[in-house]
Amino acid sequence: MCYHTRLTAKADAIEKSSGASFDEPDTYKPTAEYNGFATPATPVIRFDDRKKILMYEWGLIADWVKTASDAKKARINCLNARIEELDEKASYKRKTGNRCLVAMDGMYEWQWESPGDKKSKKTRYLVTRPDNAVFLCAGLFNEWHNRETGIITYCYTIVTTQGNELMKEIHNNGERMLVVLSPEEYDAWLDPKNEHLAFADRSHIELKAVQM
């Protein structure tokens, strides 16, 4: 789960709901589905540049990765980061202060007919806010330096936690969810002084799911 998102809102709607402005508006196009495995560039906001919306690539590349081909493999496993283990994982533990917000207006999830049976049927759901508005998720970013080319890749991972009531029901074969933030939590997440574990409980987040 947590590897397929949507951002169909126009640029001005994203700006309005996030309180930041696109640095280069032409680089953003509304997108019905972002596939994490394709490491697309999507809008994010960094803690140290709160008023700017930047296009960063989904799939964090850790500092210790040496080559572009290693990066390609490694980052696919860094599309999500478990909030419970941020302090323990080599790829994240020194980046827990690199907070960012990841914009989206939907997440795709697959519900299994019989959880546990890999062959059972799956139904796709689009999970959104009840009003379908843009929301921001908790993320961590990195600037990866390619030693061979000197090129910097700006990239991020999205933090996950235990699924809340609705998400456990939809994502019944894993029961996790992205750390969707309420608007009141946006700035709190961006402040690295705030314990990240304080954002693990998502039971207060209201979402709805429609089959599609």
Partner DNA sequence: CCAGACGTTGTT
Partner DNA sequence: GTCTGG
Residues that bind DNA (CB under 7 A): 1-4, 33, 35, 37, 62-64, 74, 76-82, 85, 88-92, 108, 110, 116, 118, 122, 160, 171, 173-174, 176
CB 13 within 8 A of CB 104: no
- Which residue's structure tokens are 């941020």? 86
Whichever of 87 and 191 has its CB closer to DNA, that residue is 87
**What are the residues facing 108 on neighbouring strands?**
126
Whichever of 48 and 63 has its CB closer to DNA, that residue is 63
CB of 134 vs DNA, minimal distance in Å: 20
CB of 125 vs DNA, minimal distance in Å: 11
Whichever of 85 and 191 has its CB closer to DNA, that residue is 85
CB of 24 vs DNA, minimal distance in Å: 27
CB 10 within 8 A of CB 25: no
- List of E strands, the chain: 4-7, 21-22, 31-35, 41-46, 52-58, 80-82, 99-104, 106-112, 122-128, 135-145, 152-162, 176-178, 180-181, 208-211
Whichever of 17 and 80 has its CB closer to DNA, that residue is 80
**What are the residues facing 102 on neighbouring strands?**
44, 137
Whichever of 12 and 197 has its CB closer to DNA, that residue is 197
CB of 94 vs DNA, minimal distance in Å: 8
**Of the candidates 158, 196, 198, the residue with the CA atom closest to the CA atom of residue 180:** 158
CB of 209 vs DNA, minimal distance in Å: 15
